[in-house]
Each structure stands twice: as C-alpha cells, then as structure tokens.
Amino acid sequence: MVFRKLPGVSASGMGLRLSQKFVFLLFLSGLVTLCFGALFFLPDSVRLKRIFLSKTETQPVTVGSGSENDAREHLKRPKEQEHPRGMTSAKGETSTKLKTLSRKPSVSHEATEERLAGGKAQEDLTLPRSKTESASQKATSSDHGGNSDTFRYSKFKRCLLKPPLGRDNGKPSDPKTNERREKVKEMMKFAWDNYKRFAWGKNELRPLTRNGHIGNMFGGLRGASIIDSLDTLYIMGLMEEYNDAKEWVQTSLDLNSNGEASLFEVNIRYVGGLLSAYYLTGEELFKRKVLELGEKLLPAFNTPTGIPRGVINLGSGTSWSWGWASAGSSILAEFGTLHLEFVHLTELSNNPIYTEKVMNIRKLLNKIEKPHGLYPNFLSPVSGNWVQHHVSIGGLGDSFYEYLIKSFLMSDKTDDDAKKMYYGALEAIEANLVQKSPGGLTYMAEWRGGILDHKMGHLACFSGGMIGIGADDGAPEKRQHYLDLAAEITHTCHESYTRSATKLGPEAFRFDGGGEATATRLSDRYYILRPEVIESYMYMWRLTHDPKYREWGWEAVEALEQHCRVESGFSGIRDVYTMTVSHDNMQQSFFLSETLKYLYLLFSDDDLLPLEDWVFNTEAHPLPIVRKSCMQDETQDKTASE
C-alpha cells in the first residue's frame, strides 16, 4: 500500500503530470508544423495551397488574357520600361503604370460570363518559367553559335529553292522590257532622293511644299518611307541608297515611342519591312529591331477574346479601339492581317507566343457563325460577336482574305486550316458578292446585311492577283475557273483606269445609275498612288505570261509620270477625271514599297523573288516560305556533324 499514489495527494505527483502534458503539446505542435510544411513545399500540394492562398496567386495564365501578357511583359521589359519616365501620350496623359491601367476598357458582365462558361475563352496555357528571356536578347546569340533551336540565317538560305535575286538580278533578255524596268528604277531613285533631301527621317514626303510628314498612324515612330523602301532599294540594286537607309535604322530608328499607333500599319510596314530586309540581306541589325518591335505589339491582344484592339501605345502597352469603329469593335482587315509577320516573329525568336496569338484569332473565327459563310468587317474584342453585317473585299476586309491563302502558301502548303478558311470564304464571296454588269464586267459588290451595294473600291483590285495565286490549290476541276475569275476581275480594274481622263483609277467605282467602272461621287475620284491594280498585273503576268499585263503596267507608268510626278517627288491627285490636275501633296510610303516594286517585278524575269520561295505581305514586303522539314533536317545534319 506504500507505493499506491492517490490523485491530488502529493506535490511530486502533480509535477510529473505537468511534464507529460508539456511533452505531448510539444509533439503535437511538431506534427502540425510538419503537416503545414507539406502543404507548401511538397510538389503535389497545389490544390491544397488554394485553400489558403488567394485565387490571383495561383490562377493559371491563359492565352489572350490581360494577365498573361502583363506577366510576360513584366518579365521581359527592362526596368526602365517598367516605370516610364513621365512621358505624355497624344492624349496628354502621363504614361505611368497607374494611369495606363485606368485607360483600359472594362470587361463587360456578359464577357465575364462567357469566359467562365468557356464560350469565348481560350485554351489555358500556363506561362513556361523558362521563357523570360526577351526575343531581342535571344536574337543576339543566333548565328553565333547559339542554341540549336534558334534561327540561323545560313540554314534558312539553304532551304530556298532559288537565289532570291535570280541569275542576273531578274534582268529580262528583251531590250524593250529591260528599258521599261530601268525607267521604274529611275522613278524609285527620284522618289527616294527627294524624300532624303526634303523629308529625311520623317514618315513621308510632301513634294509640293518640300517638307516631311509625320502623321498619326505610327504612334511616334519615324522613317516609315525608309523602312518601307529597304527591300525595294535592295532588289533594284540601289546599294548606296540602301546603305543610307540601313545606317538610319542603326542610328536613328527609335522604337521607344509613346503615341497612338495603328497595330495594322505598324505591323505591315515596320515589322514587314524589317523582316524582309533581314531575310534578303542577313543583317542582324534588322532582326534585333524587328524582335524588339514585335514584343511591343503583344499588349494589343489583352482582351477577353484575344482579338487585338486596333490602336496601341507602344510605350505603355495600352490599347483601345478606333473611335469611329462601331461599338468599340476591331476591324477584320486589321486583326486578320497579322499572321504572316507573327509566324516569322516566332521563327526568328523561337518564342511561340506570336503564333499562338494569331492562331487564337483563327480559332475564334472558326467558332462563330458566319452569315451566309461571309465574314463581316466589325467584331467585338470583348464578346467575340459580329457588330455589323457589312462585308467588303475592299477596305475593312481586304487583306484578311489575302492572308488566308498566303498563310497556306507560306507554310509550304501545310496549313490546311488556312486553306479551308480561304476556299470557304471564296465560295461565299462568289455566291453573294461577285456580279456581272450589263456591259460584261465582273466585279465584287459590297454586302450590307443582305443588300448589295454595287461599288468596288480600288483596294478590292488586289483580289485579281489573290484569286490567281490560289487557283492551283483548290479543287482541281476549278483551277481554270479561278484563273478566269482572276483575269476578269483584273480586267475590270484595268477598265477603271482606262475610263478616266488621266488613265489612273479612282478610289472607288460603281456599277449603278447607268455607269460602269467609274466613280459617280466626287468623294471617290481621287488617286493616292495606290498599288492594288498593278499588284494584280504582276501576279497575272507571272501566272499566264500574257503580254497584255506588261502593256497595262506600262500604261500606268506613263500616267504616273505625266500626272503624278512633280518637281520634287510623286504626288497623289484629287480627280482622275480631269486633265487639270490638282495634287494632294503626299508621296505615300507604300508608293515606294508596293507600287514601284510591283512595277519593277512586272518588268523583271520571274526568278527575281520567285513565288516558289516568297510570299508578299500586304505592303509588298517579301517573306520566305517556311519549310519546317528542311530547317529541321539542317539542324539534325549540323548536330550529327558536330
């Protein structure tokens, strides 16, 4: 009985119980600590983390969402760009992160519901942590023993079927044709020399007042005529002029602008021009510049649908829609004219984000219903729905269709999705828009919710060439049909030239009120040095070698010389139907990039920029066909030899 300890009797017994409790609590706290540590440090604990962390910390980043691009841009941008130095935009706002965020349009309740439901949302793709290096930084290592998956210029050159400039720079054997080609070259030199003398570094030349024009399309970027002319000067062999242009790009092209830029215009002129200059010359300068610029365009895609807005501030990354666009919509020809350039940005940077962005546009367009198979010109970047049922193969719609067939061709005919979309659209266009006038002229009307407007714009005259280059790849039994349609459209556009007093075509011509292929409104009678008709001549010459296309091209040269050439350059005219010419005092950059280039190619042999190797973007900048199998084989051969 001595060893029995009764509860509450001895002080020593009470101390023993306290020690046991302390040990137990110590053990319990260790166990809890171990469990919570597992939640945060074990690799499979992501779902448990969500119990304790806010959604914004663990939410996956999706392609097309604002969060994805914000994250990517934060990772890529140098610190000095993360905190702009108080520069003011065209609207007079200080360009800081706080203020630029406040300018972004809010997301509608309907759009939020669609994204949650998955209706307009895009595929979730988490950002790879390894892709924090900027595209422009990657460019510095390629061609210099960099990683095997970076772009090598020598590898690209071996994948071309023919030399880009042909056997003798495309010089034709026929003396008359060569004389005409030399005339076009002289016109280019004349236009360039006057630009350099009176407007150097500005975007375009005003030849009557002999000064430069900056404009508001490029958001503070300068030198549009220089960038647009690089490849034209090079293929014409104007090497002194080309070297002056290259030096300006190296010393004076400042991409840190802070104004309202058109995503479309910057892409087709600056991105397209720099890409083609790189592919033709191999100059790394152009590659570095274009990859730097490409990154600055990505924030335009920060919308609920991933459809980019039309205007972007290249400094802050803020984007918005054109004020004149219906209900804040994006324009078909603008968001549909990115594919060629963005695929090449991916090729050069080895960064898939550019291709992902344009492929997402395709996915959305394939999902939504098309009225009668047609693509209207206005689409909401918030809801992903059409805003109006206005369809045009001219302005607002044109180059969307051009980029479908050219995406297929540029992919070495492997992009079956682009092919399907193009021929589907072409069938709908033939069924609903293609018309025959009482006088036998084939034209493309515009469609306004089922009502035809019997008007064809000068911009729509590119479609003769477009239909021609796509003739071989549709249904075999329709090849001749497409070639005939292309020839008929091109003939109609030529008629719009021949029926004017100046032998230059108006901005738009109509087929109603008894008139055919003529402008019936004063507001449609001007000509601003546009290339589209000559573009179709060039393609139809290469496809058929019918000499009439070269004759038609020479008619245009003579008309340009007579009516548009002034003492200090070339100028558009206000009325093509009067011989008393009134000039508009503007030498458009696309005159040097497109009009004169297409004329030069028209009078050259077909091996100058052969169509087997090159496609032209909508600003006539040549981009090479992407031969993936060849590029991969070259990489494997190099690896094996090492």
What are the two backbone dihedrals, phi and then psi, of residue 584, each rounded to the nearest 5 degrees? -95, 0
Distance of CA 515 to the CA centre of its chain: 37
The three state secondary structure string of 249-263 is: HHHHCCCCCCCEEEH
Q: In 385-485, where do the E strands start and end?
A: 390-391, 434-436, 442-444, 446-448, 451-453, 455-457
Burial class (CB in 10 A: 0-12, 13-18, 19+), 105: middle
Dihedral Cα 229, 232, 236, 242, nearest 10 deg: 40
> To 5 degrees, how large is the angle CA 190–CA 196–CA 200?
150
123 assigned to active site: no
CA 71 – CA 68 distance, rounded (Å): 5
Nearest Cα to Cα of residue 584 among 206, 162, 33, 98? 206
Contacts of 551 (CB under 8 A, 6+ apart): none
Instruction: Output b/e per residue, 535-570; b: 16+ Cβ within 10 A.
Output: bbbbbbbbbeeeeebbebbbbbbebbeebbeeebbb
Radius of gyration of the chain (CA): 30
Which token pair is 570?
């070339």
Helix, strand, coil percentages for the chain (3-state, nearest 5): 50, 10, 40
Catalytic residue (choose from 507, 516, 535, 619): 507
Residue 575 contacts by C-beta under 8 Å, 6 or more apart in sequence? 522, 525, 526, 581, 582
**How distant, in Å, are the alpha carbons of 94, 99, 214, 262, 343 from that of 91?**
9, 12, 17, 15, 33
Joined together, the tokens standing for residue 255 give 């991409």
DSSP state of 458: G
- CA angle, corner 530, sides to 603 and 443, nearest 5? 95
Q: Which residues are catalytic?
A: 507
